[in-house]
Chain A
Amino acid sequence: QKEVEQDPGPLSVPEGAIVSLNCTYSNSAFQYFMWYRQYSRKGPELLMYTYSSGNKEDGRFTAQVDKSSKYISLFIRDSQPSDSATYLCAMSSGNTPLVFGKGTRLSVIA
């Protein structure tokens, strides 16, 4: 079983839709969970950072962590064409390197 699994997509939605992006993981030691946005041939841009379980909201973005199910989500409300990018989940146990998912490619169609 891979350490972090993420559906690569592509995911195509109309402008204004709510987008749900997800990752599952196998390592119960993971405590720190991050979502990055990556445009083509650019570096990952940190969007959301969550410690342990729970929800965190920042503008149109909401991150959720369910440690009992080893499942994390990123929701994007009122999606815009500028949100079109690849979204990477990443996680660590705190004193170990970040482990990334493969990324989900999102297209928001105007």
Chain B
Amino acid sequence: EPEVTQTPSHQVTQMGQEVILRCVPISNHLYFYWYRQILGQKVEFLVSFYNNEISEKSEIFDDQFSVERPDGSNFTLKIRSTKLEDSAMYFCASSVKENTIYFGEGSWLTVV
């Protein structure tokens, strides 16, 4: 069964460093997303991406964050200068239509 794959599964980084989280969405999907989940809290929307541009972003997705689809298969989330409060599980997701959304296994980011 096709699935969303994410790398790395876990990354530890120092505060202020740049981090890139990578995702390979399901191949025939058109909509791509990043969500995050701080330990013990709700899954929160960060950004959606369609037709090679951001279609919507939350207030969490500030200038520190950016997304790219550098080629036909990868979808990346970059955090420019990490803060302690960026420590969370980051989920990539994709969908054919806007509502049946499939999630990857997540990248656990720890900022120290």
Contact between chains at B91 and A44 (CB < 8 Å): yes
Which B residues are in CB contact (< 8 Å) with A94?
Answer: 98-99
Q: Quick check: is B65 within 8 A (CB to CB) of the other chain?
A: no
Say whether A97 contacts B56, CB under 8 Å.
Answer: yes
Q: Which of B4, B6, B45, B99 contacts A32 (CB 8 A)?
A: B99
A-B Cβ contacts below 8 A, count: 54
Interface contact B101-A98, CB-CB below 8 Å: yes
B-side interface mostly: strand
Contact B106 A42 (CB under 8 A): yes
CB pair A97 B106 closer than 8 Å: no
Tell me, yes or no, whether A92 is within 8 Å of chain B by CB: yes
Contact A46 B100, beta carbon cutoff 8 Å:
yes
| B26-63 Cβ-contact flags toward A at 8 Å (1 or 0) | 00000001010000011111001000000010100000
CB-based closest 5 A-B pairs: A97-B45, A43-B103, A32-B99, A100-B43, A43-B105
